[in-house]
Structures are given as structure tokens and as C-alpha cells.
Structure 1
Amino acid sequence: MPFYRSLGQVPHKRHVQFRKPDGGLYREELMGTEGFSSDSALLYHTYAPTDVVAVTTWDIDGRETTPNHPLKPRLVHTHKVDEGGDAVTGRRLLASNEDVRVSYVVADQPSPLYRNAMGDEMYFVESGTARVETVFGALEVGPRDFVIMPTSATHRWVPTGDEPVRLLIAESNGGIRPPKRYVSKSGQFLEHSPYCERDLRGPAEPLIVEGDDVDVYVRHRAGGTIYTYAHHPFDVVGWDGHLYPYAFNMDDYEPIIGRIHQPPPTFQAFEAPGFVICSFVPHKVEYHPDAVIVPYNHANVDSDELMFYVDAAGGARAGHGIDAGTITWHPAGFIHGPHTNELEMAVQAYNAGMIEIKNMRAVMIDTFRPLELGEASLASEDSDYLATWRNA
């Protein structure tokens, strides 16, 4: 996280005696990244966070992948894999490489306590509402929220509405943070950033839960493990630091526009080792008198592009099966862009003054190493998508 927060009870200095009402010491836990050399948080537990009474294996299913060979674009309908379950064990794998795993889940029940010991996770809420309970406190989240969960933060998802919560999930093998060009050397968001600290929602107060012999599911490089703790890990009376979960709604992203079409990095929201995440939101069209307001043909020479459509594609794209919840997957080496009818119709509408706003909402994940297909993509792709590029 780019700025400091303090919540609950903390002593006046780090690593000094901090005593409970009964006279015993609170137990410090330093969650630090890059070997104590980068962002961290210091948490104060009532009980020892190391008190493990049992260890068992968690068998994580559906991790096998298939190369995208022969190389071709894909159209994936995530709503065809909405089996239900919880946000941890019910995930369906869409795509993965050495840097990121992209999954989808329709969570209709609370998840177990969970943490990812390999890297940060990005959750995007397509629809529904949930309470995200964490060792730092709770977050109330809803449609179009991004939730950034730091490495090894124990948490769980609890759906709260009448409908399940639909989540697009990116599991990183490193940190997920705002792009470096958006923040100063000291970590403050700069004036040209499309969002700032005021847009980020962190926990408001500590979350204390009593319990004994509590299971926590841990995802790690060798697979999955279930730790059973003597006491519930949600026993933190206070914490401070720069590392904690937060939510950011895509509608708070302020798009940057220009006289001519702006490239995807204009909409970048986060960066991570080996991939970036972009937030496409409604915005004013370009204003050059001869502007072409749809993208030019482009070849992803060094990245695979996953575009998750929050709303169904409008205009000429509406005829290609791109509904809410679909993913267009354009791999490195495949040249793509507007279809002929989309290009001509957009120019005609712009010249006639019929278009003022581009009403698009989508989350794009661009990776810099090839992605392989997960079982959920193979089970839900549109095999006719390639044909839509003929005569484009």
C-alpha cells in the first residue's frame, strides 16, 4: 500500500512491551515483504499466531492447464461455469502462467479462512455483495469493487445479499500495487494519477472473533495445506503499517482522454510482476475533428490480453456474443482490432455527433508471458469466435 494507516490499539514504539488487561504481553506479528526491506504491517495478537495444533493436506483440484496451441483468439463465457460454492475452494481456473492464475467463482456460501502464501490477490466483484473478514478488520464490498489482498493475509469471503457474489480473481506470484508512475518517491499519489488515497477503502476497526481449533487454508508453491490453530486468528487488537487489504471501486477511476484514441496503459489501475490490470470505464469520446474513436488494429507482440466485460459490449461489437461476464482472449502473435462494420459505424456516428460517451466497463489483464487455458475456459469457450474475424 502507498500510505500509512494505524488501527486499534498500538504501543508508542515498535517492539516494546505492550500488555493485555491481565498483565500478559500481546504477541507481535510483523508481516513484511522483500525480506524486511519493503512494505510491512505490525499486528498485535491476543494469542500467539504460531500456535498450530494440526497440519493436513488441502488437495486443490482443477490446476491443470492446456497450451493455447494452435494459437487462436478465444471467447469465454464465465457465466456458464457458475456452479456456486465459496470464494476459495469453488474457484474455476480460466488461465495461468508462471506469474498469475486467473479464476472465476460464483460464491453463494461463506468461504473457509484462507491465505495465499505465494503473492497478492486481486478480486473483482462483478455482481453481488460480500463482507470480507480479514485479520486486519472487515471490508464491505459490492459491484465493481476491486479488492487487493496482500500476501499471507488471513481472510474469508461471506456473501451478504440475496444473490451470490461473482468474482474474477487474479492470484499473483508477487505484489499488486498502483503503477509506480502514479506515486511519488515517498508513496503519495500524484496529481496526474486517475485515482488517489481518498478512493481507497481500508478496514475501519479491528475484527475480534473467538474460537478454538480453527482451520486456515493456505495456498503455497507446493500445493495446499490446512493449518489448525489453537485460537481464532482474528484476535488482533491493533496494527499499523503500509500493508493491508483495501477496496477500490472502478467507477472512482477518472479516465484520461485525448484528441485521438488513447492506448490501454491510459486505463491501467494496477501492476504486478509479469502482468498489469486495467480498468475501462465510461468516458468522453476523442475530440479531434477526424478522430477514429475505436482502437486501431494491434498485434500483442509481447502480451496475452484477457478482457473481462462487466457490461455487454455495445455498438457493432454487440453482434459477436460479448455479453456481460464474457472474456475475449487475444494472445500474443494474434493481430486484432475493430471489425469493418464497427469501424465504419463508429466513424459515421461520430461524424453525425451521435456519440458523446463510450459506455464500456471492462477489466483487462495483460500478461507478458503466454497464458495456458484452464479447465473453466475449455468448458465455456465459444468455438465459433475465430469465424467472427473473417472479413474484419
Structure 2
Amino acid sequence: MPVYHSGFHSYVETEALNGALPKEQNSPQHPNLGLFAEQVNNSAFTAPRSENFKAWQYRIRPSVLHCSEPELITQHLIRDIHHKDSVLTPPTQMRWNAREITEEKVDVISSLVTMVYNSVAAVHLYAANSSMDKSYFYSADGDWLYVLEEGALRFKTEMGIIEASVGEIVVIPRGIRYQIELLEDVARGYICESQQAFYLPERGPIGANGLAEERHFLAPDASFENKEGDFSLYAKFQGQLWKMKIPYSPLDVVAWHGNLYPYKYNLKLFSPVNAVLKDHSDPSIFTVLSAPSLSKGTANIDFVIFPPRWVVAEGTFRPPYYHRNIMSEFMGLIQGQYDAKEEGFLKGCSSLHNPMSAHGPDMDVYTKASNEELKPVRYKDTLAFMFESKEPWQVTNFALNSVLRQKDYLTCWQSLETSFKEVVVEK
């Protein structure tokens, strides 16, 4: 079983072989065990210490040992701000069914389909039935946040091994090389690619506790492969997918130290806060991770979840209220039922509500919530999430025209009827 170190953006040092990690200089003239010293930076050298992410690796071979010129892979459905589709995004609500897993053998990377993107992020879906065998991958464009919806995965990374199950998330930093193995027959889920690193949100008046705790984020212990053979390294760079031939496994880091590494988090450990008397708290109270922007109070990406919880507020409308929002919301459902949509939004589905695109509960949920007796209720079987961005989401051609798109989504609100009664009040 993999070994983990706890902490979020904390400094970690780990070695797979005793003596591999130098104790004094980061880049000694003669690294221990005949290894190569190599630094990976995901921030400017002069970035503030709290935002300066680096890792020193002690490798069997340096990463410069590529064996071939990169080959451009043209047949793929990966998109982002650098690689766009020539379609326009209509200003309306959209929803998609879950992807079906094909009979053709596809791994996580070869199965990728981009649904939406903007200038700071992209959202991809994967639906795989095969492990990556002699291939590896990295993204030069951003950090990848994996949300597992079906099937457990093993992430074999330069920094070590992470195993994750449904209900957990895994974040792979920009540039880190890795391979994904399926631990079950099939795997499906969501990926948010962010150009900015993720941080824990400030708690403000919540205080010192609640939401996600640093100690529940787990980084892998050092683990390495020393294999030669005919391997392929795939890279996402400026929205395109490239392939390079390499004669060795790139997962040959014997020891490392730093605050740049992949990590996982179990969403069951999230400690939600909520209203305990009346009215409705904004969804920002459920933020797990945030990629901040330069605009104060807004984020490039907020990763928000709607987990199992008690709902106890009195004299109020409990489901998400009808609203229009300057932020852009891409949602998914990991398990159970989402409290604002009891029909149509099922496990593995996705929805999009762009800026000022009105949304809220359908007629059945509205009627139920307006008339039921408000006793404490335990939401047991539910886990939905949202990738919320300050930038509008641009849909891809696949998303706009796919058979997965529910063309009748708007009808879920059409049965809403007014009960307005005009009363003339005598003066």
C-alpha cells in the first residue's frame, strides 16, 4: 500500500532508498548514489515564499533525455484557450448525460473530452476501461484536479504512488509526469485544469476550524521505476497533445524534497458549516480548494462540494434559491441525488450555468420545498460539486452538439406557474 505524508503545501522530504537524499546542499557536485539533481518549479523564482512551489528531485536519469522530436497528435478532443473550437456559446442553461464507456480500449488520457474552457481553466471528462501501459503523461498548461466518479485509480507519479477511490480528489501539479492504472474494470470522472495553483480558502468569520483541514491532504512517499524499454511520453502543451518516444520510464525519482507534489483528499473529511436557524447560506461556504485571481474576492476557480449534511434552517426555502450570478458554474454529480434537481441530473451528469444564466430548482422540488414541514433533515446520499469561475465558460463543439446534451433541459422549469394575486389596497 502507498505511504503518504499529510499536510497542504507543507515541505516534505522523502527517499525510497536510504542515503539518496542529500542532507546539506540541494544540488551537490556529486549527488548520492550516482543520481542526478533536478529542480522543478511551478512559480517564478522570486515569488513570495507562500506562493513559491518547487521540488528538488534526485533521479536515475535527468528529464532532458527525450529520444525523439515531438509528434503532434491531431485526433483528440482536448481543448482550451490555446486550442479552440469555432462555436459560439449560447447564453442559456445546459445539461449533459453521463458518458458511456466504449468497448474500444481507452485509457484515461486517450479518453479525454473537453466540455468547457475559458482564459484560466478547462474542464475535461474521462471514461476509461484500460490502464496506461507503456505511456506516461504531463500537462505543461496547468494543474489537474481529478474528481473520481466511478472506479478507483492508481496514479504512479514522479513523486510516488497515489491510490484514490470514488469520493476522493487527486491534484497533479503542472509538469509532473505520471501514469494512471485502473484498479477496477472501468473508470469515469471529471478534471478541472487550472493555470493557477490551488489553495485552501480563507475561513474568515468561520474561525480556526471547519471546511478542509491541512492534515487531511496526503502527499506520496518516494517510489521509483528503473525500467528501460519502448515508452511514450504524452504532453499537453498550449492546448495540443504531443507524443515523444523515450527509452526509459520517467518515474525514476529516488528521492525528493519540496512543497511541490501531487496530493489527494477524501471529500468525506470535509467539515461543512451551514445556517442553523434561518435563511440560506451562499454556496461559497462549501469551498474545498480555490485558485485565486488578481481580482480581490473572486477566484479563477473555486472547487465547491455539496456533501452529506444536516439541514435545519427554519421558515426559509431550503434548496438553492433561484438566482443569477456573475460567476460561471459547471456542476457534476458524484453520487446520490442533488437537492435542487431530483430528476435528470444523475450520477456522472454535468450542467453549465454561465454568468446571468438564471437557474434554480425545478417545479417538483420547488413545490415540495414550499409546502413541507421544516424539520431537521439529514442529507445522506448526496455528493455534488461545482467548478466555479470568474470567467465565462466557453463550450466545445463536442459539448454543444453531443448526443449527451439534454436538449429538453429547459423544460424542467416550464411547469412553474405563478400564484401571484393582485390585491388592491384601499388608501
Using structure 2 for the length normalisation, give the TM-score: 0.82
- The answer (yes or no) to whether the contact 1:66–1:373 under 8 Å persists in 2 is no
Partner SS state of residue 290, structure 2: strand
Per-residue displacement from partner, 1:192-247 (whole Å, max 9, x unpaired)? 34122331122133222412453211111162322333432111110011110011
The 5 A counterparts of 1:89-100 are 89-100=110-121
User: 1:308/1:85 Cα in 2 relative to 1: closer, same or farther (>3 Å)?
Assistant: same
For residue 234 of structure 1, what is the amino acid of its counterpart? L
The 5 A counterparts of 1:105-254 are 105-111=126-132, 112-161=135-184, 163-179=185-201, 181=202, 191-221=208-238, 223-254=240-271
Matched, 1:355 2:377: yes
Q: How many residues of Structure 1 are paired with residues of Structure 2 in the alignment?
A: 377
- The answer (yes or no) to whether the contact 2:312–2:377 under 8 Å persists in 1 is no
- The answer (yes or no) to whether the contact 1:44–1:236 under 8 Å persists in 2 is yes
Identify the residue that residue 12 of structure 2 maps to in structure 1. 5
User: 1:330/1:81 Cα in 2 relative to 1: closer, same or farther (>3 Å)?
Assistant: farther
Work out which of the residue numbers 35, 41, 44 in structure 2 matches 1:35.
44
Partner SS state of residue 115, structure 1: strand
* Cα RMSD for the two superposed structures: 2.3
For residue 15 of structure 1, what is the amino acid of its counterpart? S
Work out which of the residue numbers 282, 300, 304 in structure 2 matches 1:263.
282
Q: Distance in 1 between matches of 2:106 and 2:63?
A: 28
Work out which of the residue numbers 382, 388, 391 in structure 2 matches 1:366.
388
Matched, 1:323 2:346: yes
Identify the residue that residue 187 of structure 1 maps to in structure 2. none
How far does residue 56 in structure 1 lie from its aligned partner after superposition? 2.5
User: 1:316/1:219 Cα in 2 relative to 1: closer, same or farther (>3 Å)?
Assistant: closer
Partner SS state of residue 269, structure 1: strand
- The answer (yes or no) to whether the contact 2:148–2:165 under 8 Å persists in 1 is yes
**Unaligned segments of structure 2, at least 5 residues:** 1-7, 294-299, 417-427
Partner SS state of residue 195, structure 1: coil
How far does residue 159 in structure 1 lie from its aligned partner after superposition? 0.3
For residue 331 of structure 1, what is the amino acid of its counterpart? N
Work out which of the residue numbers 5, 11, 28 in structure 2 matches 1:16.
28
Q: Distance in 1 between matches of 2:160 and 2:167?
A: 21
User: 1:93/1:35 Cα in 2 relative to 1: closer, same or farther (>3 Å)?
Assistant: same
Identify the residue that residue 306 of structure 2 maps to in structure 1. 280
Partner SS state of residue 341, structure 2: helix
Question: Which stretch shows the higher mean deviation, 164-173 or 332-341?
Answer: 332-341
User: 1:34/1:285 Cα in 2 relative to 1: closer, same or farther (>3 Å)?
Assistant: same
- The answer (yes or no) to whether the contact 1:105–1:167 under 8 Å persists in 2 is yes
Partner SS state of residue 215, structure 2: helix
Work out which of the residue numbers 78, 82, 85 in structure 1 matches 2:98.
78
Partner SS state of residue 284, structure 2: helix
User: 1:316/1:89 Cα in 2 relative to 1: closer, same or farther (>3 Å)?
Assistant: closer
- The answer (yes or no) to whether the contact 2:210–2:273 under 8 Å persists in 1 is no
How far does residue 177 in structure 1 lie from its aligned partner after superposition? 2.8
Identify the residue that residue 421 of structure 2 maps to in structure 1. none
Per-residue displacement from partner, 1:93-132 (whole Å, max 9, x unpaired)? 2111222121111111123200001110111110111110
How far does residue 344 in structure 1 lie from its aligned partner after superposition? 3.5
Matched, 1:294 2:308: no
Partner SS state of residue 90, structure 1: coil
The percent of aligned pairs where both chains have the same amino acid is 21
Partner SS state of residue 369, structure 2: helix
Q: Distance in 2 between matches of 1:12 and 1:278?
A: 40
Q: Distance in 1 between matches of 2:41 and 2:89?
A: 40
Question: Which stretch shows the higher mean deviation, 111-120 or 216-225?
Answer: 216-225
Work out which of the residue numbers 386, 396, 407 in structure 2 matches 1:383.
407
